[in-house]
Copies of this chain bind each other. A is one copy, B any other.
Amino acid sequence: VLKLFFAPHTCALASHIALIDVGAEFETVRIDFRAEEQRKSDQGILTETPAILVFIAQSYPGAGLAPIAEPFAFARVQAFNNFICSTLHVAHAHRMRGSRWADDPAAIEAMQRKVPQSVGDAYALIERHWFDGPWVTGRDYTVCDPYLFTLAQWMEGDGVDPARFPKIADHRRRMADRSGVKQALAEELGPA
């Protein structure tokens, strides 16, 4: 049975929602992110959210969470998820994980000051360029949707006003209303 290793308030939420969306049988294992338990190696562990999301979609083709048989449409899904991971999430990470990229405390503070701008710029590009509506890639709900929702949870914490991005804010409201999203959040934020 699939096991999802997660810590609350991380991008693991996206995979958690997708597992519920496809009706997968799975267990969740809460890990202590600070203790770096996530680095323990094991046979058959998958890492990296965009890879996990496509694995879930591909393992449950009936749920239709990614158009894997259509190379260009699939590449569009992949490109969006990659943008979330390597631009939006990376910009966000400069708020709490600046020590990955500099040692000087003043530099780490300078990174934190820029987060509202760099994260805001990434959302502006999503709002203007990526978001087709009603779901990220258009008519069909895909693995892009839980991933965007997961990051968008952190928008206010990053100092970005959701009112600047009406399509993303509306998407966040509609996602929050889905029973699968409510279930994933309850499982992650409930008692350990």
Chain A residues near B (Cβ < 8 Å): 41, 44, 46-52, 54-55, 58-59, 68, 71-72, 74-76, 78-79, 82-83, 85-86, 89-91, 94, 100-104, 106-107, 110-111, 113-114, 118, 129
**B residues near A104, Cβ cutoff 8 Å:** 106-107, 110
Q: Are B82 and A82 in contact (CB under 8 A)?
A: yes
A48 CA to B125 CA in the complex, in Å?
A: 14
A75 CA to B51 CA in the complex, in Å?
A: 5
**B residues near A76, Cβ cutoff 8 Å:** 46, 51
Copies in the complex: 2
Q: Are B79 and A51 in contact (CB under 8 A)?
A: yes
The 10 closest A-B pairs by CB, nearest first: A107-B110, A51-B78, A107-B107, A51-B79, A55-B75, A48-B82, A104-B110, A86-B86, A48-B79, A102-B110
Q: Are B46 and A79 in contact (CB under 8 A)?
A: yes
Given contacts A83-B48, A101-B101, A114-B101, contact A54 B41 (CB under 8 A): no
**B residues near A72, Cβ cutoff 8 Å:** 44, 46, 55
